[in-house]
Amino acid sequence: MKNQSIPPSENYGNDYRRNPHCSQLIQRAVNKVHGSYDKVLVTGGLGFIGSHTVDQLLSGDIKTWVLDNTSTGSKSNLAGHKRNRNLHIIRGNVCNQRSVDKIAAKVDAIIHLAAVVSPVMSVERPDITNAVNVGGTVNLLRAAVKHDIDRIVLASSSSVYGKVQYRRIPESAPTNPITPYGASKLAGETYARAFWATYRISPISLRYFNVYGERQKNNPYSGVIAIFAGNILQNKRNRIFGDGEQTRDFIHVSDVARANICAMEYKDSKANEINIGTGIPTSINELHALIADVMKTKVDEPFKKPERTGDIRESCADVRRARSLLRFQAKVDLKIGLGRLIKTRQSPIE
């Protein structure tokens, strides 16, 4: 397994801003944005990716509004900014057009992260998934038109691709989602393109691959890293579906937050879709062994369960478009990122 090349010997714990290399990249991105946008709305800003994005915006003294219904997010994720006058937290729902309009009138850019994010939950409740992920996105796009907002960054997903036969998936690959979640994200992208064509606003859709890191919850809807780490902490044996050789592209949340910032500065007015990943495939077996190594503990071999219907065999990003258009490249090595995550989980997770 190959990991990204940043110095593995340095440990900055939970605060990636203490890493001089990451801090400089973040500050450079935020400084560029500050010249163009002074007031930004982050929907879902109390959540996993959202709170890290807000961290980076506030580090550049950008006035930041957060709209979050707290269904999965928590104010504790932004507790370190409690006295920051640039932070404004509003409890509300992106499905409520009036709430969206009220805040959109105050800002000049939007990063839209609020969503039902679990493919598993989307299978159980496709109606809610559609209402939030599609209806909420349309509300944000309408508000952008109404208030003449120049830039809106939309969180999409690699789930839009479904099962494709590429070692590294380019944005030009066919989109054929196999879950309601993937379908809802593709619908959001389609609306973004339609709003560009009709109203000439400039949305950009970022197709996140497998995001992990601090503040990620451990529950049945979590990503595999949170589940593996949580079970090991509780001395529970993990399960792997299939042979474990299926691969994923794991990207640290601080890199994803920085990609959101970089996308705000993207100058092309045409709607676009861009993969956000590392371009490095890691098998589930390799991942489990790496987590155990980082935790410095011996663990039992995982249970091997039958492969689940609809599981994707290979998923890794072709990241050339992100490099060329956004000047973005992921920097956090997987082992270092896992160390940061595990350091924050000294006790069993809820």
Residue owning tokens 């794991």: 250
Alpha carbon separation from 42 to 85, 90, 107, 124, 264 (Å, rounded): 16, 11, 10, 27, 12
Give every CB contact of residue 190 below 8 A, 6+ residues apart in sequence.
none
Q: Distance (Å, rounded) from C-alpha 117 to C-alpha 43? A: 13
Query: Encoding tokens for residue 165?
Result: 């036969």
Catalytic residue among 16, 161, 181, 208: 181
**Alpha carbon 148 to its chain's center:** 26
- The residue ranges of DSSP E strands in the chain, in sequence order, are 39-43, 63-68, 87-91, 109-112, 151-157, 202-208, 210-212, 239-241, 247-248, 250-252, 272-276, 282-283, 303-305
| Interior angle at CA 212, CA 210 and CA 216, nearest 5 | 125
Residue 181 bears catalytic tag? yes
Distances from the Cα of 222 to the Cαs of 31, 87, 150, 290, in angstroms? 33, 28, 33, 18
CB atoms near residue 344 (< 10 Å): 14
User: 239: which strand partners?
Assistant: 303
Residue positions annotated with a catalytic role: 181
